[in-house]
């Protein structure tokens, strides 16, 4: 469903090139829930940006199913991304002038479709029914991240790519957001790839990978059931 082949990314700095990803191999299957762990600065966000087609690799390829992401023009890429992927960023990027409900339904509104029932159902799932008419600035950090989870699920994506909740979330809230994401994705049949530096956060996942020195290694597999 998503696949990375020999994925590399380096950045040019004044001090020369910094090679962050050195040949990542990764394949995700439908409805699989996977965590990528790795210390701060190891390239987790970089990896998610490449997988979502928001950034281009220095070498290597990303496939969404049979589609080679590098071969898609920007317009098609953006449309396919919104159809197939739900993105949750390290900063939640809620639109400040829209209500919580409108933020959840944002991807639908852009396409001229607004399914109010769906948006309300998701807000209920993340425990924020009472906040539908709030503006995001009136929410706590954890509540905002839960809105971001609901928003990512709105168009029923096959795959959710999630960067860890902001450092501003306390341990308890960060864990709650992760658990909510996993249980909701499982009930909706979406695959999840989430990244975090915090080992304690990820419990109920199918596979764990570790990103270290630019290489991704399988760290553990949970048998189904």
Ligand X SMILES: Nc1ncnc2c1ncn2[C@@H]1O[C@H](COP(=O)(O)OP(=O)(O)OP(=O)(O)O)[C@@H](O)[C@H]1O
Residues lying near ligand X in the complex (CB under 6 A): 11, 18, 20, 38, 40-46, 90, 197
H-helix segments, the chain = 44-51, 74-84, 100-104, 106-110, 116-125, 141-153, 171-188
Q: How far is the CB of 23 from ligand X (least distance, A)?
A: 15
Choose the binding region for Mg ion from 43-51, 80-88, 128-136, 165-173 (rule: CB under 5 A). 43-51
Site membership for Mg ion, residue 45 (CB under 5 A): yes
Reading the block at residue 32, the tokens are 């699989």
Would you say 45 or 58 has its CB closer to Mg ion?
A: 45
Phi and psi angles of residue 132, each rounded to the nearest 5 degrees, phi first: -55, -35
Q: How far is the CB of 41 from Mg ion (least distance, A)?
A: 8
**Residues with Cβ within 8 Å of residue 139, at least 6 apart in sequence:** 100, 131, 147
Residues 152 and 87: beta-carbon distance below 8 Å: yes
In the bound state, the residue with its beta carbon closest to Mg ion is: 45
Helix-strand-coil percent breakdown of the chain, rounded to 5?
Answer: 35, 30, 35
**Partner whose footprint covers residue 157, from Mg ion, ligand X, none (CB < 5 to 8 Å by kind):** none
Site membership for Mg ion, residue 166 (CB under 5 A): no
Q: How far is the CB of 146 from ligand X (least distance, A)?
A: 20
Q: Which residues pair with 4 in a beta bridge?
A: 26, 62
Q: How far is the CB of 163 from ligand X (least distance, A)?
A: 7
**Partner whose footprint covers residue 186, from ligand X, Mg ion, none (CB < 5 to 8 Å by kind):** none
Q: How far is the CB of 170 from ligand X (least distance, A)?
A: 17
Cα distances from 125 to residues 128, 149, 184, in angstroms, run: 8, 10, 8
Would you say 39 or 127 has its CB closer to ligand X?
A: 39
Look-up: residue for tokens 């993105």?
87
**Partner whose footprint covers residue 20, from ligand X, Mg ion, none (CB < 5 to 8 Å by kind):** ligand X
**Interface contacts to Mg ion, rule CB under 5 A:** 45
């Amino acid at each position: 469903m998503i696949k990375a082949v020999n994925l590399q990314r380096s950045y040019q700095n004044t001090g020369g090139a910094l090679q962050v990803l050195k040949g990542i191999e990764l394949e995700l299957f439908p409805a699989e829930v996977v965590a990528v762990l790795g210390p701060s600065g190891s390239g987790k966000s970089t990896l998610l940006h490449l997988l979502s087609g928001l950034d281009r690799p220095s070498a290597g390829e990303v496939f969404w199913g049979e589609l080679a992401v590098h071969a898609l023009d920007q317009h098609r890429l953006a449309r396919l991304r919104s159809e197939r992927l739900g993105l949750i960023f390290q900063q939640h990027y809620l639109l400040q002038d829209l209500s919580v409900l409108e933020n959840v339904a944002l991807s639908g509104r852009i396409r001229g479709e607004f399914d109010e029932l769906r948006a309300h159902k998701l807000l209920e799932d993340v425990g924020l029914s009472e906040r539908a008419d709030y503006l995001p600035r009136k929410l706590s950090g954890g509540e905002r991240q839960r809105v971001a989870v609901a928003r990512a699920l709105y168009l029923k994506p096959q795959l959710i790519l999630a960067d860890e909740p902001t450092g501003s979330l306390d341990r308890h809230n960060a864990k709650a957001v992760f658990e909510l994401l996993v249980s909701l994705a499982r009930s909706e049949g979406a695959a999840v790839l989430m990244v975090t530096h915090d080992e304690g956060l990820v419990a109920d996942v199918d596979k764990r990978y570790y990103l270290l020195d630019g290489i991704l290694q399988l760290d553990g597999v949970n048998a189904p059931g």
